[in-house]
Chain A
């Protein structure tokens, strides 16, 4: 696949500029996230079991949509983005039953499967999910790579430490934190895939800007989802 990556100097400079924009988006996102009440409690060692259950409950309603918007985006990638489309499809396959781990964790943390499956998206999840489908429904939705960067970044950079902190603070076993632990352990590979996708996708400045812009929107809406826990 590496052979297919365009390696002109122009493309490289644009890819690097996108990496810079994404890295700065991430830094602002992580900073703002630390101020969200549920995350602040987690970071301060003051999380309660109920907090964790509500977090899982709220996340599940959006995670269940994840591979669906990626699939829709894949179907809207035209002939010029075949390689990218196959990456999207593979990504959708890898993720599409993730929410089951989340449901199992919820049960292990003292909830019931019926409850979490009957849940509704909170206000922030609605906004996040609506934006994802909206963006995925447009022709050649390459900007969504920025959305993936934020979501995979959550997995690679935060899910691991969070799962460990939650286990320690709440005295839970592996079976109650496997969703976060799985993403903490695997999303590094996903980000490698992301690097390849970025090199494939960025042919001009407008695309690079769109990717960073999508990342900024998704970062804000993801935070909204965590701010609006249980506000349905």
Chain B
């Protein structure tokens, strides 16, 4: 197959960075208890600032399609090729603006691209890697010479008090269960994009994509991060569409995002097991990784992962981790592209360096890794 390269990267983070003490102005105030839980969550995830596409009054000029569209327009503006040379667009997100049609249509409309082949990948964080792999394979197979993968999230709109009040999720004291509150203090908004081509850029550095691996472990895990269903007393998840009416589903809390935090820790060994498999298959050599871009949702998870990795000889030393979560927040399906864009612009890359990307997804347990090599500009 044709080798493929990331030749340009871009990001769109709406508005100014919002510090922890101003978060509640944007996602709204449920109760003092909820904010106490928020501060506890922030201590665990270590995030200091993030961006929101929503205004304090709950209005917004953005949609997730517009965020992604902006990241695509900025990408094209920065690319060495004309927009007409791009044949494929893959989008990744957790929740599209609309249930129908797919996000890729909305992003195409916002992007200024001419008629193009599309793929809408919807999952949680790992949807980014699904989009990247789709784009990389399209180019590697010779179907297109250039493709775009874009990830975008607009989570803050789901976290406004109006999305919870009057539903079964709110407890008598005005608090939410931990699995609903946790995400309000974890996720934020933004988009980032990659241009994939069948050759390196002529100027500046490119990233050769060496391989992408993605595996689901839904054979052993129940859904653990969910939206669109309400948990029943027997533990099962009832899709909103099987409630008597949309209003009934809403009252049951079916439209809220939930994250079973304990399940994250149960998934850790599985995520790391994938790393070990790739080490044993000689795809990953921990010693030769120069930059480790690991999307993790909380600082405490990172510490736990390091503990497990140590004894299996899978630890990549701290100084090789490249992260931006503390300043840019957890942007779900945009996160890994945001990391790559920041790394490309950091001035710290040099030809020959090896990059390992890791994207765990808690949804129903997915683990994705990708390896890239920094290559020099090719004037040919």
Contacts A12-B313, A17-B313, A20-B312 hold; do A30 and B220 have CB atoms under 8 A apart?
A: yes
Interface presence of A204 (CB below 8 A): no
Stretch from A21-29, A108-116, A137-145 at the B interface: A21-29
A20–B275 CA distance with the chains assembled, in angstroms: 9
User: In the complex, what residues of B have CB within 8 A of residue A44's CB?
Assistant: 235
Which residues of chain B from 245 to 281 have a CB within 8 Å of any chain A CB? 269-270, 272-273, 276-277, 279-280
**Cβ-Cβ contact count across A and B, 8 Å cutoff:** 43
Instruction: Please state if A31 and B217 are interface contacts (CB–CB under 8 Å).
Output: yes
A195 interfacial by beta-carbon distance below 8 Å = yes
B234 contacts chain A at the CB level, 8 A cutoff: yes
B218 CB to closest chain A CB (Å) equals: 10
**Docked-complex contact A19 and B269, CB < 8 angstroms:** no
With A12-B313, A27-B269 as known contacts, state yes or no: A20 contacts B276, CB within 8 Å. yes
The interface residues of chain B lying within 8 Å CB-to-CB of A16 are 311-314
Q: Tell me which residues from 19 to 69 in chain A have a Cβ below 8 Å from any Cβ of chain B.
A: 19-21, 23-24, 26-27, 30-31, 34, 44-45
- B219 is an interface residue with CB less than 8 A from chain A: yes
| Per-residue A-contact encoding for B293-317, CB less than 8 Å = 1, 0 else | 0000000000000000001111000
Interface size for A (C-beta < 8 A) is 18
A193 at the interface (CB under 8 A from B): no
A20 touching B220, Cβ below 8 Å: no
Interface size class of B (residues with CB under 8 A): 10 to 19
Closest residue of chain B to A31 (Cβ to Cβ) is B220
Cβ contact within 8 Å between A31 and B219: yes
Please give, as numbers and ranges, the residues of chain B lying within 8 Å of A27 by CB-CB distance: 269-270, 273
The minimal Cβ–Cβ distance linking A107 to chain B, given in whole angstroms, is: 30
In the assembly, what is the distance between CA of A34 and CA of B219, in Å?
A: 9
How far apart are the CA atoms of A11 and B279 in the complex, in Å? 17
- Whether A20 and B314, one on each chain, are in contact in the complex, defined by CB atoms closer than 8 angstroms, is yes
B234 close to A45 (CB less than 8 A): yes
Expressed in whole angstroms, the Cα–Cα distance for A24 and B220 within the complex equals: 14
Q: Does A232 contact B (CB under 8 A)?
A: no
- Contact in complex: A23, B235 (CB < 8 Å): no
Given contacts A27-B269, A31-B217, A34-B220, contact A195 B311 (CB under 8 A): yes
Is there an interface contact between B277 and A24, defined as CB atoms closer than 8 Å?
yes
Q: With contacts A20-B313, A24-B276 known, what are 12 further pairs, Cβ within 8 A?
A: A19-B311, A19-B312, A21-B280, A23-B273, A23-B276, A24-B273, A24-B280, A26-B273, A27-B270, A27-B273, A34-B219, A34-B220
The 6 nearest A-B residue pairs measured at CB:
A16-B313, A20-B276, A31-B220, A19-B312, A27-B273, A20-B312
> What are 25 contact pairs spanning A and B, CB under 8 A?
A12-B313, A15-B313, A16-B311, A16-B312, A16-B314, A17-B280, A19-B312, A19-B313, A20-B279, A20-B280, A20-B312, A20-B313, A20-B314, A21-B280, A23-B273, A23-B312, A24-B276, A24-B280, A26-B269, A26-B273, A27-B270, A27-B273, A30-B220, A31-B217, A44-B235
Binding site for B on A (CB under 8 A): 12-13, 15-17, 19-21, 23-24, 26-27, 30-31, 34, 44-45, 195
